[in-house]
Amino acid sequence: MKEILGRFQWRHIKLILITYALLVGLLVLFQRFILLHPEKLSKDYFIDLPQSTEYDLIVDSKIKINGLRFATRDSVSKGVVLCFHGNYGNVLEYANLAEQFTNLGYDCVLYDYRGYGKTPGRLDEKNFLSDANHVFNNLTRRYDPDQIILYGTGFGCGAAIKVASKNKVKMLILESPYTDIPKLYTNILPIFPFEKASEFIVPAIDWFDKIRCRVEIFHGKYNRFIPLSHSQELLDKAHHPSKNKLTIIDGRNRFDVEQSDIYKQRIQEILK
What is the residue-averaged pLDDT of the chain?
Answer: 90
Say if residue 191 is exposed, middle or buried (CB neighbours under 10 Å; 0-12, 13-18, 19+): exposed
Looking at the chain, the whole-number percentage of residues with pLDDT higher than 90 is: 73
Q: What is the pLDDT of residue 53?
A: 95
Residue 194 CA to residue 202 CA, distance in Å, equals 13
Q: Quote the radius of gyration of the chain (alpha carbons, Å).
A: 21
When comparing pLDDT for 21 and 154, which is higher?
Answer: 154
Q: Hey, which bits of the chain come out as E strands?
A: 37-38, 52-58, 64-70, 80-84, 88-89, 107-111, 148-153, 171-175, 214-220, 245-249
Q: What are phi and psi of 195, to 5 degrees?
A: -65, -20
Phi-psi region of 26 (alpha: psi -120 to 50; beta: other; left: phi over 0): alpha
Phi-psi region of 176 (alpha: psi -120 to 50; beta: other; left: phi over 0): left
- 98 within 8 A of 83, measured Cβ to Cβ: yes
Residue 56 CA to residue 79 CA, distance in Å, equals 21
Q: What is the pLDDT of residue 5?
A: 45
Residue 20 has pLDDT above 90, yes or no: no
Q: What is the pLDDT of residue 203?
A: 97
Confidence of residue 121 (pLDDT cuts 50, 70, 90): very high
Q: What is the pLDDT of residue 145?
A: 94
Residue 134 has pLDDT above 80, yes or no: yes
Residue 99 has pLDDT above 90, yes or no: yes
Residue 129 has pLDDT above 60, yes or no: yes
Whole-prediction pTM? 0.91
211-246 pLDDT, tens per residue? 999 999 999 999 999 999 999 999 999 877 778 999
Residue 69 CA to residue 53 CA, distance in Å, equals 5
Residue 10 has pLDDT above 80, yes or no: no
42-54 pLDDT, tens per residue? 999 999 898 999 9
160-213 pLDDT, tens per residue? 999 999 999 999 999 999 999 999 887 766 666 666 678 899 999 999 999 999
- 101 within 8 A of 79, measured Cβ to Cβ: no
Q: What is the pLDDT of residue 184?
A: 87
29-43 pLDDT, tens per residue? 667 878 899 999 999
46-96 pLDDT, tens per residue? 998 989 999 999 998 889 999 999 999 888 999 999 999 999 999 999 999
